[in-house]
Amino acid sequence: HLHRINCIESLKCPKCHTHDETVEHFLLFCPAYARQQHILDRTLRAKGRDLGFLLTNPKAFMPLFRYISGTKRFEKAFDGIHS
């Protein structure tokens, strides 16, 4: 989406630079976030690899938010916002 609205130049993942950065790539496959993926998998078990579950089930929200925070992928975008 960000590429489509001209907010970023490239579709490539800014961490691994080998695949397009999609929600699925970011949450499930990017090798740069393997540690965070492992934690998510350990917390949610098999459901940690189910994109539909991660994005729609309230039981997944807190582990998912911890994953996103742990990747620091959006740290710059949310600079100044504190819990």
pLDDT tens for 6-16 read 766 778 898 99
Note whether residue 68 is domain-resident.
Answer: yes
In a domain, 3, yes or no: no
**Given this model, what pLDDT does residue 30 score?**
97
Provide the whole-model pTM.
Answer: 0.81
More confident residue, 34 or 4: 34
17 domain-assigned: no
Domain of 28 in residue numbering reads as 23-72
Model confidence band, residue 44 (pLDDT cutoffs 50, 70, 90): very high
Total number of domains in the chain:
1
DSSP string for the chain: -TTTTTS-S--B-TTTSSSB--HHIIIII-GGGHHHHHHHHHHHGGGGG-HHHHHH-HHHHHHHHHHHHHHTTTTTTTTT---
In a domain, 57, yes or no: yes
In a domain, 12, yes or no: no
